[in-house]
Chains A and B, each alone.
Chain A
Amino acid sequence: QVQLVQSGAEVKKPGASVKVSCKSSGYTFTGQYIHWVRQAPGQGLEWMGWINPKSGGTNYAQKFQGRVNMTGDTSISTAYMELSSLKSDDTAVYYCARDFGYYGLDVWGQGTTVTVSS
């Protein structure tokens, strides 16, 4: 079945970077965009951006431009989201999700908790 499996929890210090992976299976990785969405503790969903795994093209929410980098490795069907210059309010669960066009973000990863603390 279609699955997205994310890397494990991370603890980082302020100013550091974190790179979260999202491995796909059960479908053609280059066929659909991957989106990244985060959720701070007790808060709602916040869209961060997308990557087109086939072309490597990206689009980021204005809030994260200059600080986020989304990449993909087609050889292992894995997408990555790297966030730099971490601050305490970047503490959140980060999700990847498959974009199935008209049918929406239909498959989600299990989430990766990133904690930023000195």
Chain B
Amino acid sequence: QSMLTQPPSVSGAPGQRVTISCTGTSSNIGAGFDVLWYQQLPGTAPKLLIYGNTQRPSGVPDRFSGSKSGTSASLAIAGLQAEDEADYYCQTYGSSVTGSRVFGTGTKVTVL
């Protein structure tokens, strides 16, 4: 299964907007599968941030937004805050038959 490609790192000053890309293929994102995003703070388990490409679970600030187009997806963080410094992973499906999952390579967000 192909992994999803993300930039290793992005950074921004407090209050700025940053965007993380997630590039897949015609076999996963391009096949119409939903994209999800997870936030992993240092030393903790991942936390669901976005599901269904654009939807936020209850409790996730609206500073976080997701989008999808073609074989790629993006996560935007507006009004960057110190507590947003974390690793972010995109995830999609490898097969509708088996329900396999595919994770992105991960992006470290640094707040300057």
Contact = CB atoms under 8 A, between A and B. Distances in A.
Q: How extensive is the interface on chain A, given as a class?
A: 20 to 34
Contacts of A104: 36, 48, 51, 91
Interface string A40-84: 000011110110000000010110000000000000000000000
The majority secondary structure among interface residues of chain B is strand
| A47, A49, A102 pick with most chain B CB within 10 angstroms | A47
Interface in A87-118: 95, 97, 102-106, 108-111
A111 B44 CA distance: 8
B103 interface: yes
B50 to A, nearest CB: 8
Given A44-B106, A62-B1, A108 B46 contact: yes
A33 B99 contact: yes
A47 B102 contact: yes
Contacts of A103: 48, 51-52, 57
